Amino acid sequence: LVSRKKRREDTIVQLDGIAIGDGKPVLIAGPCSVESLEQVRQVASVLKQTGISVMRGGAFKPRTSPYDFQGLGVEGLKILKEAGSEFGLKTISEIVDPSHIPLACDYIDVIQIGARNMQNFELLKAAGDVRKPILLKRGLAATLDEFLHAAEYIVSRGNTQVMLIERGIRTYEKATRNTLDISAVPILKQESHLPVLVDVTHSTGRKDIMAACAKAALAAGADGIMVEVHPDPATALSDAAQQLNFEEFARFLAEVKKSGLL
């Protein structure tokens, strides 16, 4: 069902007035983790001023170490909803268990399924049973075929509002956090009618090349870019090294916009 052979026209994901996949790329930004209402309000205010309409923020955080910050859980979703409504932004957050689906339906606009759960088939089925847009991340070591099959799990249960997001894959290269597979963009766009986005934060892990990678992604045909922004990255409870502060975000945005691709 996700194949171009089944459907020639692009799927356009609709978030009220915002369309993703209609040929005009979107920028999704926000903190790695929701840490407090004040933190999310500060980010939301900057996004609003910049003309960005979709905000991300993690409430259920799948961390490598069990001793690292695990996220605020449902409290985090409530904070996102509050800041999102105050500033008129759509919200995206990750859930990691099928039991989170009702919470997601109450509090957020787009459900993110993270790289670590790309093949959590029960979660994919549960996401397919609701009628809410899903942002599906490519697994750390997933082939494009496996990625598309994961999306098929969702779409085959009737939820057609699915977006794919390349977030870098595990290779031997250590210069970047993961290896951004830019070729995934045109291949996924050819193979599938679903919108394709690129997460420049988790793929690169490097602020110095994020704008270049965003431009490359857009030039390759991406329908959107995701980037992490935090009021004070040095004190962030997750991904402190690679979240952009507001000044860095402004520079990132200016550089990407200068290309005329966004």
Site residues, Mn ion (CB under 5 A): 32, 239
Nearest approach in angstroms of CB 58 to Mn ion is: 7
Measured from the Cβ of residue 97, the count of other Cβ atoms closer than 10 Å reads 13
- Residues forming a β-bridge with 111: 93, 134
Question: In the bound complex, what is the minimum distance in angstroms from residue 186's beta carbon to ligand PEP?
Answer: 20
58 counts as binding ligand PEP under rule CB under 6 A:
yes
Question: Which residue in this structure is represented by tokens 């397919």?
Answer: 128
13, 26, 65, 152, 223 from 193: Cα distances, Å: 11, 17, 36, 12, 11
Q: What sign results for the dihedral spanned by CA atoms 83, 115, 117, 193? A: positive
Distance CA 160, CA 92 (A): 17
Q: Does 167 bind ligand PEP (CB under 6 A)?
A: yes
Q: Which does 94 bind (CB under 5 to 8 A by kind): Mn ion, ligand PEP, none?
A: ligand PEP
181 scored as a contact of ligand PEP (CB under 6 A)? no
Choose the one of Mn ion, ligand PEP, none that binds residue 167, judging by a C-beta under 5 to 8 angstroms depending on kind.
Answer: ligand PEP
Q: Which stretch binds ligand PEP (CB under 6 A): 19-27, 73-81, 112-120, 154-162?
A: 112-120
CB closest to Mn ion, residue no: 32
Compute the residue count for the chain: 262
Residue 85 carries which DSSP code?
H
For ligand PEP, what does the binding mask look like between residues 188 and 217, x meaning CB under 6 A? -----------x--x---------------
Q: Give residue 159's Cα distance to chain centre.
A: 18
Q: Are 89 and 48 in contact (CB under 8 A)?
A: yes
Burial 131-145 (b: 16+ CB within 10 A, else e): eebbbbbbbeebebe
Least distance between ligand PEP and beta carbon 260 (Å): 27
Question: Whose Cβ is closer to ligand PEP: residue 94's or residue 109's?
Answer: 94
d(CA 39, CA 231): 7
CB 230 within 8 A of CB 32: yes
Does 54 bind ligand PEP (CB under 6 A)? Our answer is: no
Residue nearer to ligand PEP on the CB measure, 130 or 169: 169
Q: Which is nearer to ligand PEP, 8 or 113 (CB)?
A: 113
Cβ-closest position to ligand PEP: 114
Site string for ligand PEP, 220-249 (x = CB under 6 A): ------------------------------
List strand residue ranges (DSSP E) for 46-122, in order: 54-56, 90-94, 110-113
Residues that bind ligand PEP (CB under 6 A): 32, 58, 62, 94, 114-116, 137, 167, 199, 202
